Amino acid sequence: METTLRIALQKKGRLHDDSMALMKESGIKFNLGSGRLIASATGYPVEALFLRDDDIPQTVADGVADLGVVGENEYAEKGFELEIVKRLGFSKCRLSLAIPKSENYTDLTWFNNKKIATSYPEILKKFFKEKGISADIHEIAGSVEIAPGIGLADAIFDIVSSGSTLVANSLKEVEVVMQSEALLVANKKLSAEKKALLDQLIFRFNAVQASNSNKYILLNAPNDKVSQIVNILPGMKSPTVLPLAEEGWSSIHSVIQENKFWEVIDQLKANGAEGILIIPIEKMIL
C-alpha cells in the first residue's frame, strides 16, 4: 500500500486560500467536492483534512493528521508539542492589545486591574506574567472587538491585520505582543517513509517560494560597462553575459530578489543598462 501524507488545512478563510494556492503551485490538486472535509489529491501522495484553524494543532499532535498548515497564533495558544517544519511567509498578522481611542495610554501598567477580552488567553497570560502585569483576562470566542463598546471589557487582545476593524470599533492598537504567519507543522513521530515524502514536499514549497520572491532580468549594456553591471547584479552564482549582433554590446541575464528590484534597476540605469526586461519565474530550483 502506497504511503500517503495527511495534511490538515483550514477549511475556509485567508489561510485556506493561501494554503491551496501554495499546493496548486507545487503541482498538487485536491479532488474537492461540495462540503467535503477530506480530499485526495493528484500530483502527490497526500490527502487533505479540512478543519477549523484552532483544531489543527491537536489533530496533528494526536496523529490524526501528519502535517498541518496553521497560524502561528493558534500554534502558540494551543501549546502542543509539534515540529515547526517551515515558516510559510503568508497569512501574516500580529496579536496586539487595543484600548478605546478615548483612553490616555502611557505604558503597559495601564492594564493593571483591567478586564481584557481575548480569544488567546494563554498567550496573553504568559506575556503579562513576563511583564509583571496583573489583569483579569476574559476569554470569549469571536467578535472580541465589540467587548469594550458593550461594557464587557476595558480592552482587547486580538489579531490585527490592517487595523480597520479596530478603527470601526473606536479602538487603538497600543502594544504588539507577537507577530504571526502560517507555519507548516508536523507530528514528531512520523515514519521514515512519511519523512521522505515530507522532505520532497518541502523541496516543492521551497522552489515555489523562491520563484515568487525572485525575478529574471535581461538587459543590454555596452561592453565597457559590463564589469560594473555584473558587480551590481546579485545573481544565483554569476550573471550570464552573451554578445549581441551589434558590435560593442552584450546581453546580460541574471536573477534579482523582488525586494531589491528598484534599488538594482536605478543602479543599472546609472551604469548604462538599456532595454531592461523583468520576467516572472515559474519555478526556481536552488
Which domains does the chain show, CATH number per domain?
A: 5-91+181-190 (3.40.190.10), 93-180 (3.40.190.10), 215-280 (3.30.70.120)
Confidence at residue 34, expressed as pLDDT on a 0 to 100 scale: 63
- Among 148, 17, 15, which residue's Cα sits nearest to residue 75? 15
| Mean pLDDT for back-to-back runs of 10 residues, the chain (286 residues) | 89 92 92 79 92 94 96 95 95 94 94 96 96 95 88 93 88 95 96 95 90 85 90 74 91 84 83 87 73
Confidence at residue 161, expressed as pLDDT on a 0 to 100 scale: 84
Confidence at residue 94, expressed as pLDDT on a 0 to 100 scale: 94
Residue 29, phi then psi, degrees to nearest 5: -120, 125
Confidence at residue 78, expressed as pLDDT on a 0 to 100 scale: 94
- Among 157, 183, 160, which residue's Cα sits nearest to residue 56? 183
Q: Would you state the cell numbers that stand for residue 143, as one nine-digit string? A: 467578535
The span from the CA of 113 to the CA of 275, in Å, is: 64
The span from the CA of 206 to the CA of 283, in Å, is: 9
Confidence at residue 230, expressed as pLDDT on a 0 to 100 scale: 87
Cβ(176)–Cβ(163) under 8 Å? no
In three-state secondary structure terms, 177 is strand
Residue 245, phi then psi, degrees to nearest 5: -65, -35
The predicted model scores a pTM of 0.80
In three-state secondary structure terms, 257 is strand
- What is the dihedral angle through the alpha carbons of 31, 32, 38, 43, rounded to the nearest 10 degrees? 30
